[in-house]
Amino acid sequence: MPSLAKVYIAMITALASAVLVVVTSRWNPENLGRFVLFFALATLASAMKIRLPGFKTTISINFVFVLIGLALFSFGETVLIGLGGALVQSLWKTRSRPKPVQVLFNAACLTVCTAAAFWTSHAIPTMLGLNSVAAMMVLGACVYVVLNTGLVSLVIALAEDQPLRDLWSSCYEWTFPYFLAGAAVAGLASAASYGTNLGVALLVAPAMYLVHTYYRMHIVRAVLENISNVSQESEAVLAGASRAR
């Protein structure tokens, strides 16, 4: 791995470590039983993951629970939901045994993304005098998606010496519809359960399972169509070469 990639991973890890220090120092859950239940469901949701075409990485529906956490839980609780999901997503049913540095970066990346999304979704509306769950969710989702796709694309660009712009564009193209659907579901669940009943938010799981299943089928179909197009182009080239002879 290039030295620049190692330095970048070390920086993200250090930043994530600082976030976890803050979480530890300010840990004070309002309802520990409620958090444990939500955390367990969020980590289970992380096992439902999709591998992105052209990337050695996956996305899972855990981000939906992170977004709900922005509205329903404290900073520390939401960060731990993101961290737990990252570990399950990296280690559960992988095609090949992940390297420790990959697990470390994934955990650090989602920790930083979750912390940034939480801070932004709470700080900016407060500064503007807004008391809106919708504004909170939109800001949090935007920061989470842009930062997550950007950090992942950058580490791949540094490690494999590929153009960042192309990688980020491709990653964003594949993930945006999935994140958009998830953010919509999370927003509706959070608005419905804000300050009242967590059970409404937990109903997000079956809804996101349907979204996950559909999107996984969409990716498989897109990959198969791409393979078919490449095969047809190759056949056309070979046919042209044969006629030229």
Ordered domains of the chain (ranges, CATH): 3-244 (1.10.1760)
Average pLDDT score over the chain: 76
- 3-state DSSP assignment of residue 132: coil
Weakest-pLDDT range from 62-71, 160-169, 186-195: 186-195
pLDDT in tens, 48-61: 776 766 666 677 77
Q: Label residue 242 by pLDDT band (50, 70, 90).
A: very low
61 DSSP assignment: T
- The three-class DSSP label of residue 58 is strand
DSSP label at residue 60? E
Asked if residues 14 and 112 have their Cβ atoms less than 8 Å apart, the reply is no
Handedness of CA 171, 174, 180, 181 (dihedral sign): negative
The pTM is what? Answer: 0.77
